[in-house]
Amino acid sequence: MSSTRTPDPNPGWLSEEELAAFRARMPLLYVEALPVRLGGLGEVTEVGLLLRASNEGAMTRALVSGRVMFGETVRDALFRHIEKDLGPMAFPQLPASPTPAHVAEYFPFPGSKYQDPRQHAVSLVFVIPVTGTCEPRQDALEMTWMSTEEVSQPDVLAEMEGGRGSLVRAALASMGVLP
């Protein structure tokens, strides 16, 4: 769909300079996804977190995450970033409804609930069931599946950057599986 809409081969991709200019002046739109495995009756049985090395070399747990580009639908962006982070065999079930489970606002200022030192980002957060095999790509070291009890442990959630532990807790609550 993007291809028919966009005359330029890659208008959504910005140079580093352009992106830096935008980041200093505008909120950027992101999508984030929490991968889950469902049981036979639709109930959440496991939650998947990516393990990444942060810029400082520390290990952190992360969600699937990325920018929405010019001309791209939220759905297209969600699909693209899930494939980028989980590989082509994850078989995600994208949401029938465009309304996210949660909206997270990241600010580069101290004091806000969610933080991102690079930018002001507004993220539409979805819980995404995956039925296939996840093979983390890019900079993720591995994908860990945890039970809802395990993932709710304070020490696991504390390993997430930018306050995203709270976001995972909110996503679990919206599914009715926060202990």
Helix, coil or strand: residue 20: helix
Contact 136, 87 (CB under 8 A): yes
Q: Does residue 145 touch a copy of itself according to CB under 8 A?
A: no
Work out the burial of residue 57: count CB atoms within 10 Å of its CB; fewer than 13 is exposed, 13-18 middle, 19 or more buried: exposed
Q: Does residue 11 touch a copy of itself according to CB under 8 A?
A: yes
Helix, coil or strand: residue 144: strand
Contact 33, 68 (CB under 8 A): no
Q: Which residue among 122, 146, 156, 160 contacts a copy of itself (CB under 8 A)? A: 122
Alpha-carbon gap, residue 35 to 126, rounded angstroms: 9
Tell which positions 43-62 bind a copy of itself, by CB under 8 A: 43-44
Q: Does residue 25 touch a copy of itself according to CB under 8 A?
A: yes
Q: Does residue 20 touch a copy of itself according to CB under 8 A?
A: no
Contact 144, 51 (CB under 8 A): yes
Q: Which residue among 20, 58, 93, 139 contacts a copy of itself (CB under 8 A)? A: 93
Q: 51 or 102: whose CB is closer to a copy of itself? A: 102
How far is residue 117 CA from its own chain's centroid? 17
Q: 22 or 141: whose CB is closer to a copy of itself? A: 22
Binding site for a copy of itself (CB under 8 A): 4-5, 11-12, 14, 18, 22, 24-29, 36, 38, 41-44, 68-76, 79, 93-103, 105, 107, 109, 113, 120, 122, 124, 127, 129, 166, 169-170, 172-176, 178-179
